[in-house]
Amino acid sequence: MGKTTGFLEYTRETNPALEPKERIKNFLEFHPMLDHEKRQKQGARCMNCGVPFCQSGVKFGGMFSGCPLHNLIPEWNDEIFMGNWKQALSRLKKTNNFPEFTGRVCPALCEAACTCGMNGDPVTVHENELAIVEEGYKNGWIQPCPPEVRSGKRVAVVGSGPSGLAVADQLNQRGHKVVVFERDKNPGGLLMYGIPNMKLEKRFIDRRIDIMKAEGVEFRCGVNVVAGDCETEAAIGAEKLAAEFDAVVLCCGAKQPRDLKAEGRDAEGIYFAVDFLGDATRRLYGEELAHGCPTAEGKNVIIVGGGDTGNDCVGTSIRQGCKSVIQLEMMPKSPDTRLPNNPWPQWPRVCKTDYGQQEAIALYGHDPRIYQTTVKEFLKDDAGKLRGIVTVKLEPKKDETTGRTIMAEVAGTEETLPCELLLIAAGFVGCESYISDAFGASKTPRGCIDTGNADPVGAAAEQKYQSHDKIFAAGDCRRGQSLVVWAIAEGRACAKEVDGYLMGYTNMI
């Protein structure tokens, strides 16, 4: 490393954030980047440790720690410190197709495994990555680079989320003709219609898509894939794809949401979180709404689910002008610091207060999260519209039949809360069945496309991606709901397997 004592001399400094009451005025990103001098010091903090856990992407204590893409993090941190930005970009591009996405929305598994974090603060790997790729765009170093030789093979990719884009990018660079089919108006999947604009401005997706188009990838948007061999302006049959392409890769996500079962579920005003977030983006860009979700303006909003999607709903609801916002989380609050049974380099099981929750605290004076609580009943007015909910407290108990710990209701703890808009952010239960059924792909008990893996959520490079015949699957539809970085890793690994299937060998990494 260029600065072997940098981790001793410089403290961690992250990109600043606009104050909550200022940033909620719009849907723009709110983290201006550090200048070059400060960023180079952050690169200098990388400590040349003997084993770079940051790029490992392996399981510790049943959870993954380190980058699933195995990014060459110490190498490009050193290049940042030395001011060799173009060389840093070349190292970053070797393992990550879309660092402008992961640099904005990845929860930074790399930083959780950083050796600096064992007894102090980890290196700002996540922001260093973003600084490199944006420096590349600013200086014109990222330009379309179409392959010089074409293989004559044709690949159809169903879905244009991060896994589908990674598959398409890799196979196109290998020389195969790739056509991406996307049912929405624009490509990007949940990058476009799931992640709010303040976390990932859509112009950055468009910028990358334009490059991929210039390199030869064809995008057919507004086209759904259905059963049969039909072809219309808005749909194409699975049989037709299988007949016309040498391989078909399913990257259709895991968008089958987990529902709530409680009396009054049919009340008007209850929506799934991702549908709400998608329509919020469509409304922002003047597109036709796909799910008819209203805005949160003037409403008491309750979000069921305490994860990242729930937090995104908090931030979006606040920007739309909600009257109040509450997040219900059925599990107990995580500790504020690591417990002895959760040592480094395991992923830290600690309570995180994210941007939406920070904004709710600034606006309403309290954390929006209520732990160990769920919905017991939805209350409707005479017109059938949601007017409130009845909540109930939960406590962990051991199920006598299965021996598993469950969250059981605590009698007498019911409480009524006003609510005109309820958003279900309780996770997903696999891919939508019509896609797997159309291609005759079997599904796992978790509702995902089965590609014959004993551990379908293992390291991406160790997985198998072929479902049957010429049909492959990658990303959330195969793995289950996961992170953008995992989707890209799966897309790259799947592309390698597809290339070997098409050519009889592969030289892809």
pTM of the predicted model, to two decimals? 0.96
Please state the length of the chain: 509
Question: Tokens 């790739």 identify what position?
Answer: 178
Return d(Cα 70, Cα 456) in angstroms, integer.
19
Using alpha carbons only, give the angle 145, 484, 355 rounded to the nearest 5 degrees: 120
Domain regions of the chain by residue span: 6-138, 154-255+429-503, 270-424
Q: Is residue 2 predicted with pLDDT exceeding 80?
A: no
Q: Is residue 3 predicted with pLDDT exceeding 90?
A: no
Within 10 A of 346 (CB to CB), how many other CB atoms are there? 18
What is the tally of helices (H) and strands (E) in the chain? 18, 19
Return d(Cα 364, Cα 331) in angstroms, integer.
23
Whole-number mean pLDDT of the chain?
96
Superfamily, domain 270-424: FAD/NAD(P)-binding domain (3.50.50.60)
Question: Tokens 């799934």 identify what position?
Answer: 272
Residue 369's DSSP bridge partners are 327
Q: What is the per-residue pLDDT for 62?
A: 87
Average pLDDT over residues 52-78: 94
Q: What is the per-residue pLDDT for 399?
A: 87
Using alpha carbons only, give the angle 438, 429, 461 rounded to the nearest 5 degrees: 80
Query: 402-448: per-residue pLDDT in tens?
Result: 889 999 999 999 999 999 999 999 999 999 999 999 999 999 999 99
Amino acid at site 12: R
Q: Is residue 473 predicted with pLDDT exceeding 90?
A: yes
Return d(Cα 400, Cα 435) in angstroms, integer.
38
Q: Give the model's confidence band at 180: pLDDT under 50 very low, under 70 low, under 90 confident, else very high.
A: very high
212 membership: H or E segment, kind and range: helix 202-214
Query: 365-393: per-residue pLDDT in tens?
Result: 999 999 999 999 999 999 999 999 999 99
Q: What is the per-residue pLDDT for 363?
A: 97
51: left (phi over 0), alpha (psi -120 to 50) or beta: beta
With a CB cutoff of 8 Å and minimum separation 6, the contacts of 3 are: 9, 44, 81
Nearest to 248 by CA among 475, 440, 473: 473
Average pLDDT over residues 213-235: 97
For the range 134-141, what are the long-range contacts, defined as Cβ-Cβ under 8 Å and sequence gap of 24 or more?
A: 134/33, 134/100, 134/103, 135/85, 135/88, 135/89, 136/85, 136/86, 136/89, 137/100, 137/207, 139/85, 139/86, 141/86, 141/89
Q: Is the dihedral of CA 477, 479, 480, 482 positive or negative?
A: negative
Q: Is 455 exposed, middle or buried (0-12, 13-18, 19+ CB in 10 A)?
A: exposed
Please state the φ and ψ torsions of residue 254, each to the nearest 5 degrees. -125, 70
The two domains 6-138 and 154-255+429-503 share their CATH topology (first three levels equal): no
Nearest to 109 by CA among 91, 92, 129, 84: 129
Please report the DSSP string for 117-184 in residue order. Answer: GGTSPPP-HHHHHHHHHHHHHHTT-------SS--S-EEEEE--SHHHHHHHHHHHHHT-EEEEEESS
Q: 154-255+429-503: what fold? A: FAD/NAD(P)-binding domain (3.50.50)
Average pLDDT over residues 142-148: 97
Average pLDDT over residues 34-50: 94
Q: Give the model's confidence band at 61: pLDDT under 50 very low, under 70 low, under 90 confident, else very high.
A: confident
Q: Is residue 112 predicted with pLDDT exceeding 90?
A: yes
Q: What is the per-residue pLDDT for 50?
A: 87
Query: 269-308: per-residue pLDDT in tens?
Result: 999 999 999 999 999 999 999 999 999 999 999 999 999 9
**Lowest-pLDDT range of 50-54, 159-163, 185-189, 502-506:** 50-54
Superfamily, domain 6-138: Alpha-helical ferredoxin (1.10.1060.10)
Return d(Cα 306, Cα 303) in angstroms, integer.
8
Q: Give the model's confidence band at 1: pLDDT under 50 very low, under 70 low, under 90 confident, else very high.
A: low
